[in-house]
Structure formats: C-alpha cells, structure tokens
C-alpha cells in the first residue's frame, strides 16, 4: 500500500495552472506516478501517456485487462498533432464543435504514446476535457495524460472524490478533489478512421448531436458483441456493476411491482432503481433509490453512477431497474444500465 495524497482544488479559482495543489499533482505525473482528477464526465485516473510504467500502474491499480485501450487527455491542438498522424476534415469539424467537451475521437497514432496505452492498436483515442481542473492539470504537467475512469474495474464509475477514495486508496499517489462531476456518464467515443464514422461508446454527446454536424454515423458491432477485440474503453468487459444482482425491466413500474411482491416470499432484500416521478410506487421494496427525473434524462445520466454505488451500502440482494428511451443521452444511459445488469432483462 502507498500513501494516497488528497489535493482539494476550487474549480472556479483563477490561474488554476499555478495552484500549488495542481502543481503538486502535476509533479507526481511528471515523476511517473498516477493520480485521479475530475473531468466534466467522471473522475479519471491519469498517468503519463508516453511512459509505459505509468500506464502499467493504471492497469494494475484498476485491475483492468491490458487489452482494453485507454483515452489520452490533452489540452491543446498542438498536443493532438504530436500524437496523431492526421486529422481528417470531419474529425476537425467535431473538434471545432464539441471540444473541449465529452467527446473522444479515435485517430491514426503517430506512435508517440505508450503501446500499452493503445493496447497495440495503430489508432489512439483522444479527448480534450472541458473541466477547468483537468485542463489545468494537463497544462501544468506538460504531458498528454492517459486516463480511464478512476474506479476498480467493473465498479460504477466515480463522480465524486469519495468514490475514488473508496476504490483506490492506497493504490495511487493522489486524488485531485475538484468536487462533483457534471455530465455523470463518460465521453462518447467515435472512430474517425471509418466511413461513416462509428460510435464505439455512447456518452455525453448524443448520436443526434453528432449527426447534426457530420451526417450519418454507424454503431460498432463491438457494442453488442463481447467476442470482438475492444477498440475503445467500455466495449468488452462487464462495467458499472453494483454488488447486488441487477435486472432491467422494460415493461415498467407495474411489472416491477409484481416482481417486488414476488420477492416478499423470499429472504432477499429488494431494491428498485426508479425516477422521481415513480418513487412512491414501490412501497413493498426494501430500498427505493431515484436517479433523477424521467422528464429530464440529463439528471438521470448525472446521478446514475452515484445511485449504483449507493445500492452497495444498502445491503440489497437484487435490484430491479426502470429503463429509458434510447434517444439523445438515453442511449448512453441504457448502455451503462445494460452493462451494470450484465445484460439481464426481465420482460
């Protein structure tokens, strides 16, 4: 076990790049250590993207399979050009529209980043986060930062520094605490080396938003086929899972009520994941947690991972979850719920 430092930073402070706490975290990165930091989506676990040993520490701390590639976080277009061989016109349009922001773009690699980070692929996943603390840390370190979510592999992604402490205390050099994250689900990942471009992971930028800028996009088969080698994070392995067995129930609250009533004949504690609109409809459940308002899907995305983690403290044995329309950010919500439930659906 190593000592994990905690650096608290006000994301609204001026001149963050020169903040002593940011400089201390940046020094750890420069020394080859790994640190967690907030982005606008979730907390990331960062290391020097060019240094094999730093990347290895990320995989080891998370318990993450080494064939699951990482995303490089950058703060300037100069950094993109340093690590990518080309930026095609459509990719540039996406950058101009959505960067800084929750969009990761896959481009041809120049070979400047660690092979361990790209999982041996000829492409590299690049993102320019909009969170001021993330941007200040990248600039202060002078490095492209490899960063998956800062959680134990398979657990719900962290949206608060406390979530990182729970999973990774004693395994990483430090955590930059910049408060709660905003979007709540990870970035959208799109492959700019295919025609049409291909969504590898739905996230904070919706399909509809992408298509407004570049026209039709495709879904990668790896979104639904676990036998495919992963080209981006979140495509192959079980993710976001609470400790209890979780089921998705597309039929809605009446079917969930039936399932909860049936469980009362067992010794299992039953949880329901629902929305504010329906929270009073499951009086027989042992635990009812809400992830936001159905009428405001952005609130569901923002709260989803925190609610999944909350179930772990409620000592439930089974969770029945509402589902959501797969339009807009609903596609990302359902992608995360399906993985959290390991594909288990009750009709």
CA–CA dist 148, 157 (Å, integer): 10
Among the listed residues 61, 142, 81, 161, the one whose alpha carbon sits nearest the alpha carbon of residue 70: 61
Say whether 262 counts as a known binding-site residue: no
Say whether 147 counts as a known binding-site residue: yes
Containing H/E element for 191?
strand 188-191
Say whether 299 counts as a known binding-site residue: no
Longest CA–CA span in the chain (Å) reads: 62
Say whether 64 counts as a known binding-site residue: yes
Say whether 123 counts as a known binding-site residue: yes
Write phi, then psi, for 107 (nearest 5 degrees).
-135, 165
Write phi, then psi, for 223 (nearest 5 degrees).
-65, -30
Say whether 240 counts as a known binding-site residue: yes
Per-residue pLDDT at 1:
84
CA–CA dist 116, 120 (Å, integer): 7
Query: From first to last of its 347 residues, what are the pLDDT tens digits of the chain?
Result: 899 999 999 999 999 999 999 999 999 999 999 999 999 999 999 999 999 999 999 999 999 887 789 999 999 999 999 999 999 999 999 999 999 999 999 999 999 999 999 988 999 999 999 999 999 999 999 999 999 999 999 899 999 999 999 999 999 999 999 999 999 999 999 999 999 999 999 999 999 999 999 999 999 987 765 555 555 555 554 578 899 999 999 999 999 999 999 998 888 999 999 999 999 999 999 999 999 999 999 999 999 999 999 999 999 999 999 999 999 999 999 999 999 999 999 98
Contact criterion met (CB below 8 Å) for 298 and 314:
no
Say whether 127 counts as a known binding-site residue: yes
- Residue showing tokens 């092979």: 115
User: What single DSSP character describes residue 276?
Assistant: G
Say whether 118 counts as a known binding-site residue: no
Per-residue pLDDT at 77:
97
Could you tell me the pTM of the whole model? 0.93
User: Residue 2 contacts by C-beta under 8 Å, 6 or more apart in sequence?
Assistant: 170, 171, 172, 173
CA–CA dist 158, 178 (Å, integer): 13
Say whether 149 counts as a known binding-site residue: yes
Write phi, then psi, for 219 (nearest 5 degrees).
-100, 135
User: What single DSSP character describes residue 109?
Assistant: B
User: Residue 163 contacts by C-beta under 8 Å, 6 or more apart in sequence?
Assistant: 43, 150, 151, 156, 305, 306, 309
As a whole number of Å, the CA-based R_g of the chain is: 20
Contact criterion met (CB below 8 Å) for 19 and 13:
yes
CA–CA dist 203, 331 (Å, integer): 8
Within the chain, strands assigned E span 5-8, 35-38, 43-48, 71-73, 103-108, 123-127, 145-146, 174-177, 188-191, 198-201, 218-219, 245-248, 270-274, 287-290, 318-321
What domains can be seen in the chain, in order of their start residue?
5-223 (3.90.870.10), 245-340 (3.40.50.11030)
Say whether 344 counts as a known binding-site residue: no
CA–CA dist 323, 288 (Å, integer): 15
């Amino acid at each position: 076990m190593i000592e994990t430092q905690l650096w608290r930073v006000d994301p609204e402070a001026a001149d963050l790049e020169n903040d002593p706490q940011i400089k201390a975290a940046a020094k750890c990165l420069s020394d080859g250590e790994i640190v967690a930091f907030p982005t606008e989506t979730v907390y990331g676990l960062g290391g020097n993207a060019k240094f094999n040993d730093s990347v290895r520490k990320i995989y080891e701390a998370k318990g993450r399979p080494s064939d699951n590639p990482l995303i490089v976080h950058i703060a300037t277009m100069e950094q993109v050009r340093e690590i990518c061989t080309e930026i095609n016109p459509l990719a540039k349009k996406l950058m101009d529209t959505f960067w800084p922001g929750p969009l990761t773009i896959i481009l041809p690699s120049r070979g400047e980043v660690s092979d361990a980070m790209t999982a041996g692929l000829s492409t590299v996943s690049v993102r320019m986060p909009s969170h001021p603390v993330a941007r200040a840390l990248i600039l202060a370190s002078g490095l492209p930062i490899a960063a998956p979510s800062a959680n134990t592999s398979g657990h719900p992604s962290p949206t608060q520094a406390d979530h990182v402490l729970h999973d990774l205390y004693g395994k990483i050099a430090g955590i930059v605490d910049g408060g709660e994250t905003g979007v709540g689900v990870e970035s959208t990942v799109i492959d700019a080396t295919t025609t049409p471009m291909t969504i590898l992971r739905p996230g904070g930028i919706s399909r509809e938003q992408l298509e407004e800028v570049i026209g039709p996009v495709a879904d990668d088969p790896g979104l639904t086929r676990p036998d495919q080698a992963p080209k981006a994070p979140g495509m192959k392995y079980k993710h976001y899972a609470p400790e209890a067995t979780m089921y998705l129930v597309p039929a809605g609250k009446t079917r969930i009520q039936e399932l909860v009533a049936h469980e009362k004949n067992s010794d299992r504690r039953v949880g329901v994941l629902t929305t504010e609109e329906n929270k009073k409809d499951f009086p027989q459940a042992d635990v009812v947690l809400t992830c936001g308002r159905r009428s405001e899907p952005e609130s569901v995305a923002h709260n989803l991972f925190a609610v999944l983690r909350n179930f772990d403290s409620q000592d439930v044995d089974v969770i029945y979850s509402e589902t959501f329309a797969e339009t807009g950010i609903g596609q990302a919500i359902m992608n995360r719920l399906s993985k959290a439930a390991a594909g288990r659906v009750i009709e």
